[in-house]
Amino acid sequence: MDCVIPEEVLQAAHLTPEELKRELAVLLFAQRRLTLGQACRLADMPRLPFQHLLASRGIGPQYDVEDLEEDVETLRKLGRL
């Protein structure tokens, strides 16, 4: 799906189309609406630079106890624990 943002909106926000995509990706990741991979794709950035961008904004990884429990269960199923 394409999304058209009027040029005057970009000018008013003082953003390029690329910067707007990054801002949207950061916002949606911070709201836990996108995974890290999805946000990287939206921002059109490799994972590590995107993680640095998040860190520069004080946004940490989204990894909670439930995520850990799922990872442990997966490792058990794979025989790695």
Q: Cα–Cα distance between 32 and 54 in angstroms, integer?
A: 13
With beta carbons less than 8 A apart as the criterion, state whether 61 and 48 touch.
Answer: no
For residue range 9-60, what is the model confidence (pLDDT) as tens digits?
Answer: 999 999 999 999 999 999 999 999 998 989 999 999 999 999 999 999 999 9
Beta strands in the chain (DSSP E): none
DSSP 68: H
With beta carbons less than 8 A apart as the criterion, state whether 5 and 20 touch.
Answer: yes
- Nearest Cα residue to 54 out of 74, 77, 75, 36: 36
Residue 80: predicted pLDDT: 86
For residue range 54-77, what is the model confidence (pLDDT) as tens digits?
Answer: 999 999 988 878 878 888 998 999
Residue 62: predicted pLDDT: 83
